[in-house]
Amino acid sequence: MIHELRTYTLMPGKQGEYLKLNGEIGRKIRGDKYGKLEGYWSTEFGTLNQLVHLWSYEDLGERERLRTALGKDEAWTKEYIPKIRPMMLAQENKILSAVVPMTPPSDAGNVYELRWYRAHVGKLGEWLALGWLTPAMDGLFADSAGARRRYMDRLALALDPAHARHASRYEAALRERNRLLSGEADPDTQWLASIEAQLAEAGAALAQGRQALVERLSAALAGLPDGPFAQPVLAYVPGGPLTSEALAIELGRQRARDRAAQRTLTGPHRDELEVTLAATGAPAARCSTGEQKALLIAITLVHAGLATAGRPGVLLLDEVAAHLDPVRRANLFERLRGSGAQVWLTGTELAPFAGIEHEAAVWRVTGGAVERL
């Protein structure tokens, strides 16, 4: 279910005339045939001479279909629109997704306050849990340690939005320390100590976030049955001490070594995520491509369950179903039903989705156009 919030700004003094035309002509033509009217308001504070109305649709496809049909209704286009258009100064539309179910008021005559909150960059995670698994991630276990650190940080961010701030502060302090270490002149020790204090504080928070992530994932994985997906075993390998005090001491102790190397060799930028296959103990990088895919799916599913606890979530699984046998595919769909997230599944053919076709919204994307099936 989606909602469309439409805000019309009218010429001063025209609101009464507009509402009269809407009641006598517009509502009789439109009714709820072209989307359900959930509410209609006029503004009393803030920007005046505005009408705000909320419409509901099953999805974007239904909205597009009904709006197209409304545009072809001659009574609407010839009897109503020409009369109201000269009264309108501006129009704004917003597509909304309900965080909690809408509950109609028990009586009429209520006063409503509409508030908007715009999240800072990196703060969306406080409101919405995002997760995804795409084919580009298939080589994660054979990729560099840096790729796995970025993977850990993305997963940690979905559980703790403050993780992004720790990572940003750490990267800034690390760049400054490396600049000082690689300069021609010996760095000022007091300035270096100040940078190291910042690096240690942010680095400890970053490392502890990664450690907590792996511990929570491991606990969730341990509670799963042995099949049908491969069971991963996760281990966080820190690149330095985990407390700010110990990390600051180690950075100070290793200044000569790092000066010779012209870069910092201790800290969470040297962390590693080790993944092994529980059944054999084999490192994930040495497993078959099918086993690696199964390990990634297992991690993604338990992470989605942790991330969506207590808040809405969106999970994208790109080209996943086609790589699974019928048993694993059925199990995947069953687990997604109880994930609590809005799930997007993509594929190049419909056959892998036959088990959920009756309960899912199905779309075809061809040549940049979207078609509801």
pLDDT, average across residues 156-160: 91
Q: Average pLDDT of 50-76?
A: 91
In a domain, 228, yes or no: yes
Q: How confident is the model at residue 45 (pLDDT cuts 50, 70, 90)?
A: confident
Q: What is the pLDDT of residues 171-229, one digit of tens each?
A: 999 999 999 999 999 999 999 999 999 999 999 999 999 999 999 999 999 988 877 88
Q: 181 and 242 share a domain? A: yes
Residue 33 lies in a domain: yes
The predicted structure's pLDDT at residue 288: 93
Same domain? For 276 and 341 the reply is: yes
Q: What is the mean pLDDT of residues 324-344?
A: 88
For residues 119, 121, 126 and 127, what is the CA-based torsion angle, rounded to 10 degrees? 50
pLDDT digit string, tens, across residues 336-351: 988 778 899 999 999 9
Could you tell me the CATH number of the domain that includes residue 297? Answer: 1.20.1050.90
Residues 6+ apart with CB under 8 A from 50: 7, 8, 9, 10, 42, 43
Residue 275 confidence class, pLDDT cut points 50, 70, 90: very high
> Residue 133: what pLDDT?
93
> Which band of pLDDT confidence, cut at 50, 70 and 90, is reported for residue 310?
confident
Range of the domain at 43: 2-96
Q: Please indicate, yes or no, whether residues 167 and 293 belong to a single structural domain of this protein.
A: yes
Res 308: pLDDT: 86
Tell me: the pLDDT tens digits for 92-151?
999 887 766 677 777 777 788 888 777 665 566 667 888 999 999 999 999 999 999 999
Domain identity same for 206 and 267: yes
pLDDT at position 227, please?
Answer: 75
Asked if 277 and 270 count as a contact pair (C-beta separation under 8 A), the reply is no
For residue 54, is it within any domain? yes
Same domain for 18 and 140, yes or no, is no
Q: CB-based contacts of 27: which residues, under 8 Å, 6+ apart?
A: 37
Query: Are 82 and 181 found together in one domain?
Result: no
pLDDT computed for residue 120 by the predictor: 65
Per-residue pLDDT reduced to its tens digit, 264-273:
999 999 999 9
- pLDDT tier at 250, thresholds 50, 70, 90: very high
Q: Looking at 46, 81, 96, which one is the last position of a domain?
A: 96
Pairing type for strands 313-318 and 342-346 reads parallel
pLDDT of residue 232: 95
H-type alpha helices, the chain = 15-21, 27-30, 60-71, 74, 81-84, 145-159, 163-182, 189-222, 244-253, 255-261, 289-307, 326-337
Residue 32 domain flag: yes
Of the candidates 96, 116, 134, which is a domain's last residue?
A: 96
Determine how β-strand 369-372 pairs with β-strand 272-277: unpaired
* pLDDT (0 to 100) of residue 119: 64
**What is the chain's mean pLDDT, rounded?**
91
The encoded tokens of residue 174 equal: 């690390």
d(CA 196, CA 219): 34
Q: Are residues 87 and 233 in the same domain?
A: no
146 and 290 belong to one structural domain = yes
Find the CATH number of the domain harbouring 50. Answer: 3.30.70.100
pLDDT for 179 equals 93
Asked if the structure places residue 78 within a domain, the reply is yes
Residues 80, 146 within the same domain: no
Whether residues 78 and 129 fall in one domain: no
The tally of domains found in the chain comes to 2
The pLDDT of 41-49, averaged and rounded, is 90
- Clarify whether residues 133 and 57 are in a common domain: no
pLDDT the model gives residue 122: 58
In a domain, 109, yes or no: no
With a threshold of 0.85, does the pTM exceed it? Answer: no
pLDDT (mean) for 239-249:
97
> Residues of the chain with pLDDT > 90: what percent?
68
Same domain, 186 and 319: yes
> Does position 33 have pLDDT exceeding 80, yes or no?
yes
Between 32 and 323, whose confidence is greater? 32
> Helices 163-182 and 189-222 meet at what angle, rounded to 10?
140
Domain boundary residue among 96, 115, 143? Answer: 96
Residue 194 vs residue 60, higher pLDDT:
194
> What token pair was written down for 127?
């409101």
The residue count of the chain comes to 373
280 in a structural domain: yes
Cα–Cα dist 97/59, whole Å? 10
How many C-beta atoms surround the C-beta of residue 349 within 10 A? 8
What contacts 104, CB < 8 A, 6 or more positions away? 38
